[in-house]
Structure 1
Amino acid sequence: MGTTGLPELIARTHDDYAYNARASAEVAGVTKDSVYLVSLPAGHNFPLACPGILGVLLAGGRVVMLPSPEPARAFATIEAEGVTHTAVVPAVAGRWLERAAQHGAGQLATLRVVQVGGARLADELACQVEPVLGARLQQVFGMAEGLLLTRGPYTPRGYYRAAEHNARSFTGDGWFRTGDICLRTPEGNLVVAGRDKDMINRGGEKISAEEIENLVYRLPSVSQVAAVAMPDPVLGERVCVYVVPRAGATVTLEEIRARMEGAEVARFKLPERLVVVEELAWTKVGKIDKKALRTDIADRLKAELPGG
């Protein structure tokens, strides 16, 4: 099943998975000499077949497994096993970058490819991966159902016994709608800008949460950030940012707004509330749990009302 919203049963076939695993392995440069580290939940599509366990084994390579991607143990395992490829989510990539910046990346000498998926990796983190970790960054985008508005050998024909959901998610001629918002560059490349569910509607102005997060990540005091919609009786929604500061650092709303204004960001996009936390809410597959954060800020606002 997918990793967002309520669970749906995604009808997959063995041919689907074999095609996906082999095609992904080719793109990732996997060969019989590859060593793949699995530290994410192995049953999920990303570490299972993109190319994951299946793609590496089909290519004749070797798979090494860890119960978690904790940086110290992961780095030691990469060195001991000669790991060449691995897959992480953005939060883990951030922790690995911090570890390498503090202790060096000498243990990662054999690592050639770091795949990041599950959610979009902020540009400010993406540009650090190769210079800091010494490995090529490969951003893996998609979902268990397939890529963008798509139809092909890996696209299912529909969810199992879910007619209402199918009517929303598939066109009449079988194209699958993912709900992702993409931009096409003049060169013909696609840039993922976010999901339609991750847009903040401030008085009719649509704001990409990921755009806000990329801007906030430019502050050296910020370790992790999540932008979410905050309910507002006048405008409908306003921008709220949750921030985990780096060790020993402080972050203020004024600092965030000043940095964004300095980058000539439109004023309606400026965050209007900052919540500093020690840790963000995460889903079981390592994505930031935006639903939990939206619930949290709504509860905070209710508690601040008279009699709340």
Structure 2
Amino acid sequence: MKFDAVLIAPRQEEMTARGLWKNKTVNDYFDACLATCSDKRALTSISVGTGARTDLTYAELDKLADRAAIGLHRLGVGKDDVVCCQLPNSWQFVATYLGCARLGAVFNPVMHIFREHELNFMLKHGEAKVFVIPKLFRGFDHEAMAEGMKPNLPDLQHIVVLDGEGPNSFDALLMDPAFDTDPDRARICSENRGGPNEVCQLIYTSGTTGEPKGVMHTANTMYANLVPYAARLRLGAEDVILMASPMAHQTGFMYGLLMPVQLQASAVLLDMWDKDLAARVVEQENCSFTMASTPFLMDLANAVEVNGTDSSSLRTFLCAGTAIPGPVVERAHAVLGTKIVSAWGMTENGAVTLINLDDPDERAVHTDGYPLEGMELQIRGTDGKPVPAGHEGELFVRGCSNFGGYLKRPQWNNIDAEGWFDTGDIARADAAGYIRICGRSKDIIIRGAENIPVIEVESLLFKHPSVATVAIVGYPDERLGERACAFVVPKPGAEFSFADMQAFLGEQHLAKQYWPERLEVRSALPATASGKIQKFALRNMLKEGAK
């Protein structure tokens, strides 16, 4: 695969000279762990459904990563080849990624909720050579889905199945103990490791384009975020990081996988969210930090309060994805005894802004923090010029953790001549430089920190034989931040129900989390003179409870 990460080279000299790009990869950080704390617990991997638990030291994880590298090498994976991984949070996910890093392969994590509709595009666009999946997860047969897709994916050569049987199983292909004595082990795991400015991660994000966008990151762009992030939060080797957010999201990947290795810390991974188990894990494993969206925080506070577990070790809970209601911060702080930190970021940049640990709690309620070292913000008015403090405008970001570009779509990179990235968000800044995200110029909905690709869902619904016009907008939800509502105008003489919508989207194999959770059928939708639907008017209808 040839990667067109055109946004890396123009920044390389400046970022290196300023010390913002450390020129280290995950291999360098992992080698440091082996040199100084090889017998320390690297991670604990817990399966919520089965209760299975695996504890691994850095030395043990090193051996498993080597096995994964040798197994992938034998499948024909080499430098710059793409390995797509749909595994839930687990030691197998981590070992697969580390194995890819040792080969110089590019790791492409995808959410476990994705189905044929999303995956057919991602696997084909990313030219994935290997697809690593669970046999079953949450009752869904991923193996059957993958095998059904394979004939339409010309680059896909191998499907590797965790908990599968036969020659395609994860254990047979990637974890064969015989790999430990392979005479070429050292050479395979070292000679083609990628450099810090080469693409090492391909991760898809939803946006306004109607198709997922392949975000390309290098070690330098990711660690340029992780180093100042950990410093602001005063995280170090003594911390135990709890991660239940999916590692196929940048939250789980960067702060649950990369950061613990960077810090020589320990991680505790949950493959799915269970608030009661999470509360027990915090107590039993002395977890000191976690990062997740607001619903996770609310759930954890409820579980600790009901079950009476000890959460005193949990010093910091970083919330991102949606604004944190004041009562949630107050209750969580009172119940958990935890500092609640607000933040804002994107897949393209990692966490860009966050408050300080010493800031008053009000800052977490009313702001999304201020930029990390190496990142700049600019809020522009409709004339393209920066606006004064307190005024809303379009948010632009520039700096060290900005991504390398969108794979095969450089025309969508949204970078101006001065290197400013158009985030698509509306924000304002106070006199101290703390920002507040006020809305989005992007046509997306964020449901529990998961971006819903509105245009894509609308395009599918337009295919329904009874639908004449459709518009999807978000409406506030106390738990998830937002949910999606579809406004539909049926064709003359046709009928369209909520059940019809669900059945159709199921037939289209769209991830269920993207389905609108409300339907409003109308004879017409508010529109401009040119015919453009006025989505702000639809949002107002929902806010006002209009029928």
Per the normalisation by structure 1, the TM-score is 0.63
Per the TM alignment, residue 225 of structure 1 is displaced from its structure 2 partner at its CA by 6.0
Tell me the alpha carbon deviations over residues 161-196 of structure 1, each in whole angstroms, 9 at most, x when there is no partner: 114423xx2223321111111121233321122322
Structure 2 residue aligned with 1:32 = 237
3-state SS of 1:179 partner: strand
Structure 2 residue aligned with 1:191 = 436
- When the two chains are superposed, the root-mean-square deviation of aligned CA atoms in Å is 3.1
Tell me the alpha carbon deviations over residues 115-152 of structure 1, each in whole angstroms, 9 at most, x when there is no partner: 22233333432333211221111223101212451111
Tell me the distance in 1 between the aligned counterparts of 2:345 and 2:400: 14
Structure 1 residue aligned with 2:294 = 90
Structure 2 residue aligned with 1:226 = 482
| Structure 1 segments (4+ residues) deviating >4 Å | 227-233
Tell me the alpha carbon deviations over residues 17-48 of structure 1, each in whole angstroms, 9 at most, x when there is no partner: 22222221112211111001111212321122
Per the TM alignment, residue 62 of structure 1 is displaced from its structure 2 partner at its CA by 1.0
- Which blocks of at least 5 consecutive residues in structure 2 are unaligned? 1-202, 353-394, 446-472, 490-509, 524-547
Tell me the alpha carbon deviations over residues 250-284 of structure 1, each in whole angstroms, 9 at most, x when there is no partner: xxxxxxxxxxxxxxxxxxxxxxxxxxxxxxxxx98
3-state SS of 2:396 partner: coil
Equivalent position to 1:18, from 205, 223, 226: 223
Tell me the alpha carbon deviations over residues 75-118 of structure 1, each in whole angstroms, 9 at most, x when there is no partner: 111111111111222222222222233333x3212111112223
* Cα distance change, pair 42–16 in 1 and its aligned pair in 2 (3 A): same
Structure 1 residue aligned with 2:366 = none
- Which blocks of at least 5 consecutive residues in structure 1 are unaligned? 200-207, 218-222, 234-282, 304-308
Structure 2 residue aligned with 1:241 = none
Structure 1 residue aligned with 2:419 = 174
Structure 2 residue aligned with 1:45 = 250
3-state SS of 2:231 partner: helix
User: Does the CA contact (< 8 Å) of 2:217 and 2:404 recur in 1?
Assistant: no
* Cα distance change, pair 100–193 in 1 and its aligned pair in 2 (3 A): farther
Structure 2 residue aligned with 1:133 = 336
Tell me the distance in 1 between the aligned counterparts of 2:416 and 2:486: 32
User: Does the CA contact (< 8 Å) of 1:116 and 1:138 recur in 2?
Assistant: yes
User: Does the CA contact (< 8 Å) of 2:322 and 2:481 recur in 1?
Assistant: no
Equivalent position to 1:297, from 515, 518, 543: 518
User: Does the CA contact (< 8 Å) of 2:286 and 2:314 recur in 1?
Assistant: yes
* 1:9 aligns to 2:9 (yes or no): no
* Cα distance change, pair 2–129 in 1 and its aligned pair in 2 (3 A): farther
User: Does the CA contact (< 8 Å) of 1:86 and 1:114 recur in 2?
Assistant: yes
* 1:143 aligns to 2:346 (yes or no): yes
* Cα distance change, pair 2–133 in 1 and its aligned pair in 2 (3 A): farther
* 1:112 aligns to 2:303 (yes or no): no
* Cα distance change, pair 93–4 in 1 and its aligned pair in 2 (3 A): farther
Larger Rg: 2
Matching residue's letter, 1:179: G
3-state SS of 1:178 partner: strand
Count of matched residue positions in the alignment of Structure 1 and Structure 2 = 226
Per the TM alignment, residue 224 of structure 1 is displaced from its structure 2 partner at its CA by 5.6
Structure 1 residue aligned with 2:271 = 67
* Cα distance change, pair 64–224 in 1 and its aligned pair in 2 (3 A): closer
3-state SS of 1:63 partner: strand
Per the normalisation by structure 2, the TM-score is 0.37
Tell me the distance in 1 between the aligned counterparts of 2:224 and 2:289: 20
Tell me the distance in 1 between the aligned counterparts of 2:341 and 2:331: 13
Tell me the distance in 1 between the aligned counterparts of 2:226 and 2:433: 25
* Cα distance change, pair 29–225 in 1 and its aligned pair in 2 (3 A): closer
Matching residue's letter, 1:111: L
Tell me the distance in 1 between the aligned counterparts of 2:325 and 2:214: 30
3-state SS of 1:126 partner: helix
Greater displacement, 81-90 / 124-133: 124-133
Tell me the distance in 2 between the aligned counterparts of 1:127 and 1:209: 26
Structure 1 residue aligned with 2:325 = 122
Tell me the distance in 1 between the aligned counterparts of 2:206 and 2:326: 22
Tell me the distance in 2 between the aligned counterparts of 1:224 and 1:44: 17
User: Does the CA contact (< 8 Å) of 1:30 and 1:56 recur in 2?
Assistant: no
User: Does the CA contact (< 8 Å) of 1:46 and 1:117 recur in 2?
Assistant: no
Per the TM alignment, residue 232 of structure 1 is displaced from its structure 2 partner at its CA by 9.0
Tell me the distance in 1 between the aligned counterparts of 2:480 and 2:216: 35
Matching residue's letter, 1:151: R
Tell me the alpha carbon deviations over residues 173-230 of structure 1, each in whole angstroms, 9 at most, x when there is no partner: 321111111121233321122322369xxxxxxxx968x55xxx5xxxxx56636566
Matching residue's letter, 1:33: E
Percent of residue pairs identical: 19
Structure 2 residue aligned with 1:102 = 306
Matching residue's letter, 1:63: A
